[in-house]
A and B are shown apart, each in its own frame.
Chain A
């Protein structure tokens, strides 16, 4: 599966990543190589085989919905790049 530079640009936009022109060429080449290898899966007959999303068979694990004060606001904001002490700040999004 050869990946074009345009596809790299498209995927990069979806993933919110930016690459220089040179990096795009390299990424296209490396992704193509890896995806070529992944194409070996086409050889496997998976007709009637259910897809597996998870190893464990348990489902619907419930616990009581008890309120716990685990993290104080001050602590929750302590790792934020920019805050006003109450909220996390980002650049204005509405003009």
Chain B
């Protein structure tokens, strides 16, 4: 790859050593060589990318510069791009074509970013390994026997392998940060409400965020700068001023107060990862930061609260997939025939029971006949059963259960109260420190297939990332080094609401200190 990072590409563009169109071609070549093995892209937009590149080149020739001109971006396939498919890695939406542009995409395109294709992800962003995608698993470019993480696994793999300068991911419980750590790239989950969710297919609406992944903190800062800010199409986008995130990269951490939450350095954390994070913190201290231990006492309850609340929201959000207005629909004739055959069978059994004088059984069968669902209801169920994969069904079931009558207080409302406590933990910690530093994941990337049949083990892997989404605070993952297994290790920085600037400042210094 001639210009793997955006800063290189931009320099080359300035010196007329390359063009946006040439950049698109070289990235498409790379994707062609590598995507069969890694499966990072679900679909490419070759024509759209080339056309936009030519347009940008013609504008540049006339002196119209755009801040992100020539930035080649992969887009997670849960974000809507007008006229393109948005499958969410699901059979349910495998033929769905979007009618709108997500606000984040529109803003990036206006700033000169070029979208090269849609990246693979866990189905409806539900997963931590990118193994639940209908389009098949993504492989980790560093070691193809390992997962890239999830759910934004395709985005992380695409960036790590040089198939794009940057990619957009979404993060509901770690889906940007964990794959960034597993693939060795930088990933930012912004504050909830920092980036408009308009055009993002909903998973858990009070948790979902859109954020950038790239090779450098600077590139991530530039993407955020272009995407952030209020949007009339998303009432939960916050009306908070957007600072210049690139100006925040001062190369200094002098006087900054770093907190190490002791609950994040506890049992279950790989020792080498712990040591690598501590080593980075020692260097930050040597560069002028102060370091103290802090406590976030409700951390251990994060996973339980997270999976109660997000499955509940998911069960509600995914109720819209009924095969009526869009998406997959089961075969009506087949459904009708099956239903009729069941009806005939019940009738026959009832008549036999009556003829044999078994009144009780005949009554039960009559009740079953009366309770038989309508064709439309059966069509909904068949549609959803065919269209959703195992993990999505599991979460819909869990969410429906915790919201169902008799369990709402014990699970859903209880988890909402715990969510308040977790947010309070962060508010308290940020009275004493400016930024928290933690490991991003308890282990490096695990092997494909190793957790896919054990949902709880998969969920527990998100232990360090879900808390940020529960509290709504921003989280940045930067590479912290290489594990003895050869796999990348990530370090997480957590900050105050809407204080991405400090995270980027510290993350940038941490990455450059080695």
Residues in chain A within 8 A of chain B (CB atoms): 3, 7-8, 11-12, 14-19, 27, 30-31, 33-35, 37-44, 46, 49-56, 58, 61, 63, 70-71, 75-76, 78-82, 88, 90-93
Contacts and interface: CB of A to CB of B under 8 A. Distances in A.
Most buried by B among A8, A35, A75: A35
Contacts of B235: 61, 63
Contacts of A43: 301
A84 to B, nearest CB: 14
Given A16-B384, A34-B459, A52-B416, A40 B377 contact: no
B418 A41 contact: yes
A53 B456 contact: no
A78 B327 CA distance: 11
A63 B388 CA distance: 36
A8 B379 contact: no
Contacts of B193: 55-56
Contacts of B416: 51-53
B169 interface: no
Contact of B418 (A44, A56, A88): A44
A71 to B, nearest CB: 5
A52 B417 contact: yes
A82 B304 contact: no
Nearest to A82: B329
A80 B99 CA distance: 13
B353 interface: no
Contacts of B323: 81
B325 A88 contact: yes
A15 B206 CA distance: 21
Interface string B186-206: 000000110000000000001
* Chain A at the B interface: SS class: loop
Contacts of B400: 11, 14-15
A58 B417 CA distance: 19
B384 A17 contact: yes
A46 B459 CA distance: 24
A44 B397 contact: no
B455 A44 contact: no
Nearest to A81: B329
Contact of A54 (B206, B305, B398, B421): B206
B380 interface: yes
B211 to A, nearest CB: 15
Given A41-B415, A79-B97, A79-B327, A16 B380 contact: yes
A55 B206 contact: yes
A8 B400 CA distance: 10
Contacts of A44: 298, 301, 414, 417-418, 421
Query: Which 7 pairs from chain A and chain B are nearest by CB?
Result: A55-B472, A51-B416, A79-B326, A81-B329, A46-B417, A61-B235, A52-B420
A78 B301 contact: no
Given A54-B236, A92-B375, 10 more contacts: A16-B377, A27-B393, A34-B455, A35-B398, A35-B411, A40-B304, A46-B414, A52-B417, A56-B238, A90-B376
Contacts of A56: 192-193, 236, 238, 472
A41 B305 contact: yes
Nearest to B395: A34
Nearest to A27: B397
11 contacts: A11-B404, A31-B401, A37-B304, A38-B307, A55-B192, A61-B236, A81-B323, A81-B327, A81-B329, A90-B379, A92-B375
Interface in B397-423: 397-398, 400-402, 404, 411, 413-421, 423
Interface in B153-196: 192-193
Interface string B417-453: 1111101000000000000000000000000000000
Nearest to A55: B472
B333 to A, nearest CB: 10
Contacts of A16: 319, 322, 377, 380-381, 384
B456 A46 contact: no
Contact of B401 (A3, A70, A80, A90): A3
B374 to A, nearest CB: 6
A16 B322 CA distance: 9
A60 B315 CA distance: 25
A12 B397 contact: yes
Most buried by A among B315, B396, B401: B401
Nearest to A10: B404
A33 B398 CA distance: 11
A51 B470 CA distance: 12
B263 interface: no
A46 B305 CA distance: 13
Most buried by A among B396, B417, B423: B417
Given A18-B385, A51-B416, A91 B336 contact: yes
A72 to B, nearest CB: 9
Contacts of B472: 55-56
A16 B335 CA distance: 14
A80 B420 contact: no
Contacts of A12: 397
Given A17-B397, A38-B308, A54-B206, A75 B381 contact: no
B471 interface: yes
Contacts of B304: 37-41
Contacts of B99: 71, 75-76, 78-79
